[in-house]
Amino acid sequence: MTSEKSTSDLQTLLHYNRPKSTPPAANLTSKEESTFGGPFRASSVVPFDSRAIDERTPLIGVVRGQSETFSQNEEEDEEETFDKQSLRDYFSWKNKWTILNHIKIAVLLIITSVCCIGIMMKEEIKTEHWHQVSVDNKIQYQEFDSHNNPVKLLLKGPIKENTNGSLRVTFGDKSKNDTWKLEVDNNMLNSGDAAEIEHKFDKSAESKESIAFELSSNLSVVLLWKGEELPTAEIVYAAIILLFVYILIIFELVHRTLAAILGSLAAIAALSLFDKRPELGTIISWIDMETLMLLFGMMVIVSIFSETGFFDSCALQAYKLAKGKVWPLITLLCVFSAVVSAFLDNVTTILLLAPVTIRLCEVLNLDPKNILIAEVLFSNIGGTATAIGDPPNVIIVSNSDMKDKGIDFATFTGHMCVGIVFVGFVGYGALRLLYRDINKLQNQGPPEIAELKHEIELWRRAAARVSVVSREESIMKALFQQKAVQRENALIKQLYRMRRTEKKDFQQNVRELERKYYITDRWLLVKTGLVLVGVILCFFLHSFIDGMHIDLGWIAVIGAIFLLVVADIKEMENILHRVEWATLIFFAALFVLMEALTELQLIDWINTQVTDWIRGLEDDKKQQLAVAILLILWVSAIASSFIDNIPYTTAMIPVLLQISESENIPLQPLTFALAFGACLGGNGTLIGASANVVCAGIAEQHGYGFSFKEFFKVGFPLMLVTTVIAMFYLLICHVAFKWHPD
């Protein structure tokens, strides 16, 4: 049998299958039904491809009359009048946002063009020019042209830093007493190993200087050295680029991924300006592939996991546990997020918890944005507690110099965990204060209305993402837009039919939810659960078993491959479509941006300022320790809010070791101040921590994306409060009670 089609269906098919020279059909009346069963609005919903209309199709519905009787002058006057009216309409006040958008595009296009030209005009730095010097008990001089700029000197050889060492390196005038002291490492000398160490010398009044090497012993050692000028203008350029990126993100002028890409391009152009243009291979090496592999692998696992209905079932169980109340539910999510993040990487925690949270908020008729923000904030707080919870902590504990100074897993976790308990309690109180208006957490209106509004938004986004290239894609785009209009009509009917009804009790809600949310594929759930448990177990054991020679990224990708095999996935496109490619590209661009800013000496400048401030209080050691804790804590917190905390932590570790050696300050308090500041500071802004960006990407994928400003309103005040508590904890423990070895 052949089914009969309605008039609307026939006209829709005729519209898409008409000859290219045929104008589109006239609008249908509101009484005619669409293929989806609702009113069909052909004039506003079903677009047609303008490229499918040739010169015989009228583009503007103007009644021409007998056009052959028009004179040439009358036609020109008509066109001139039309152009003037168009210009007046374009420059009218009502059209200001369109004008500003065009200005934005023009400015960004100019900036992009200038950066590309600047990169093309400079050659890549292909090789590193090292110089060789044989050092003994006689002074060896090496010439270096500094152009009156500060100089960074890199040494490579069997050496290590020691304030009482026998190897002295002096740049410029000896009377300045700017001498770099090192010592020869006999173990390296015997084994043939070499270490690479760097030191910054202040600028000299002379443009040409000499570097003096002297070894006060009978040994003779061969060193490789390389000098690099540090123009002050580099720091200015780096600060301007960072400000430019934040302006783009804060005011949402472009998507944050594009903002990071433009910032990376500008930073590489700035390096090219100072004859430091990196090779493409060097730029690729700046990208932290372990983080990207971890994100990609877990995204694939979570996308398959979502097919089982597990997230729906978890949302229902949490609803029962919280008895349908809002604050018990928020408390449960925050505590669970913090505890899990203490033992598991917080990015993985958010990847697993965010889909459950979104579904749970839909069940409770809550706005998921605020709940997700609270969850990721406490994930960052919980990750601060242990040595494996947050990347800065992993960097600190895995550093060999830190291990030699007695900062191991147990010592680090013991000190940090106690402090995080106080930070967590006060942070929860601050969150209650920030979310004191419970109505702002809930959707306005019944859950059916909120669900319809969200569904309309999703259909519109789906239509916007379809690029019209072929006739099939044009039909798909039109059907998506038609579906959005159908849901709009359903929303109008729902609002019209709404009456005051009795509030349903908790048990009735549970029964209705049990009919909607359940496990859909138990066999796939078993497969996915086994793989996920294995991946999480490997994550945890990775920090304790030396025989595991794979990192977290490899574990996640291998787990994803195992799951793809055992789940017997047929449609790979559906799985890959759920991977947040925009988030992955954002991280890649952000890594390049931060490394380029590091090459422009921005982070070194911050570290130098901190060191100079601490050294200015040499007289009072107790006061010097307190000031050092305060400076490192707050500078780390503010810096980690606006720049990635991974390169910042990596750059700060040598600074802490140097301050501890030269100023005789205990290393442990400085290390804990760095860890608290770098981890808690990530809560300050949306791009301050990796978990924040991942959470925003998941929310956006589900249609609940939150902006930089929405995150900042909650995250920055909470960051300030938690950092204050960490400050008091460190001052009481290490200044008042000296909970550290001398």
pLDDT digits over 258-285, tens only?
999 999 999 999 999 998 999 999 999 9
Residue 23 has what pLDDT? 43
- Please check whether residue 213 is in contact with residue 182, taking contact to mean a CB–CB distance below 8 angstroms: no
CA dihedral sign, ordered 145, 150, 154, 159: positive
Measured distance CA(286)–CA(650) in Å, rounded: 13
Q: What is the pLDDT of residues 608-623, one digit of tens each?
A: 888 888 877 666 666 8
Res 720: pLDDT: 96
Q: What is the pLDDT of residue 467?
A: 65
Mean confidence (pLDDT) of the chain: 80
Contact 341, 351 (CB under 8 A): no
Q: What is the pLDDT of residue 182?
A: 85
At 1, which helix (H) or strand (E)? none
Query: Which pLDDT belongs to residue 452?
Result: 60
Query: Nearest 5°: phi and psi at 315?
Result: -60, -40
Query: Could you give the CA distance from residue 160 to residue 197 in angstroms, rounded to a whole number?
Result: 7
For residue 624, give Cα distances in angstroms to 98, 190, 375: 56, 40, 37
Tell me the domains of the chain and their CATH numbers: 7-52 (no CATH), 78-121+233-277 (no CATH), 131-230 (2.60.120)
- Rounded to an integer, the average pLDDT of 549-554 is 86
Question: Going by C-beta distance under 8 Å and a sequence separation of 6 or more, which residues neighbour residue 314?
Answer: 356, 359, 360
> In this structure, what token pair is assigned to residue 554?
């490899």
DSSP structure string for 252-270: TSS-HHHHHHHHHHHHHHH
pLDDT category at 723 given cuts 50, 70, 90 is very high
Higher pLDDT residue, 476 or 329?
329
Encode pLDDT of 335-373 as tens digits. Answer: 989 998 988 888 888 988 898 888 888 777 788 899 999
CA dihedral 724, 725, 726, 727 (to 10 degrees): 50
Q: Which of 331, 282, 392 is nearest to 674 (CA)?
A: 392
Split at pLDDT 50, 70, 90, the class of 71 is: low
Q: Provide the total of helices (H) and of strands (E) in the chain, helices listed first.
A: 29, 9
Distance CA 366, CA 622 (A): 50
> How many alpha carbons fall within 13 Å on the CB side of residue 395?
19
Residue at 11: amino acid letter: Q
Single out the residue of 486, 646, 708 nearest to residue 40, CA to CA: 486
Residue-level pLDDT at 454: 63
CB 289 within 8 A of CB 501: no
What is the structure's pLDDT at 672? 95
Query: What does the pLDDT average to over 653-674?
Result: 87
**Token pair recorded at residue 364:** 């409770």
Cα–Cα–Cα angle for 482, 486, 489, nearest 5°? Answer: 140
| Local structure of residue 357 (DSSP, 8 states) | H
Between 206-220, 346-360, 438-452, the lowest mean confidence (pLDDT) is in 438-452
Report which residue type is found at 246: Y
Q: Residue 475 has what DSSP assignment?
A: H
pLDDT tier at 39, thresholds 50, 70, 90: very low
Indicate the pLDDT class of residue 74, thresholds 50, 70 and 90: low
Closest among 41, 38, 32 to 478, alpha carbons compared: 41
In degrees, to the nearest 5, what angle opens at C-alpha 442 toward C-alphas 439 and 447?
135
Q: What is the pLDDT, as a whole number, of residue 676?
A: 96
| pLDDT tens, position by position, 377-421 | 999 999 999 888 888 888 898 887 888 888 888 889 899 999 999
Per-residue pLDDT band at 54 (split at 50, 70, 90): very low
User: 10 Å Cβ neighbour count for 474?
Assistant: 19
Which residues, at least 6 apart from 642, have a Cβ–Cβ distance to it below 8 Å? 242, 246, 684, 685, 688
Q: 384: which 2 tokens?
A: 């601060």
Q: How confident is the model at residue 3 (pLDDT cuts 50, 70, 90)?
A: very low
pLDDT band for position 542 (cuts 50, 70, 90): confident
State the CB neighbour count (10 A cutoff) for residue 295. 24
Model confidence at 7, pLDDT cuts 50, 70, 90, reads very low
For the entire predicted model, the pTM comes to 0.76
- CA 711, CA 580: separation in Å to the nearest integer? 20
Tokens 């720091």, residue located: 235
Percent of the chain surpassing pLDDT 70: 79
The predicted pLDDT at position 453 comes to: 66
CA distance 498 to 500: 7
Structural tokens at position 709:
């400003």
- Is the pLDDT at 444 greater than 50? The verdict is yes
Write the burial class of residue 169 (CB in 10 Å: 0-12 exposed, 13-18 middle, 19+ buried). Answer: buried
Rounded Cα–Cα distance for residues 368 and 365 (Å): 9
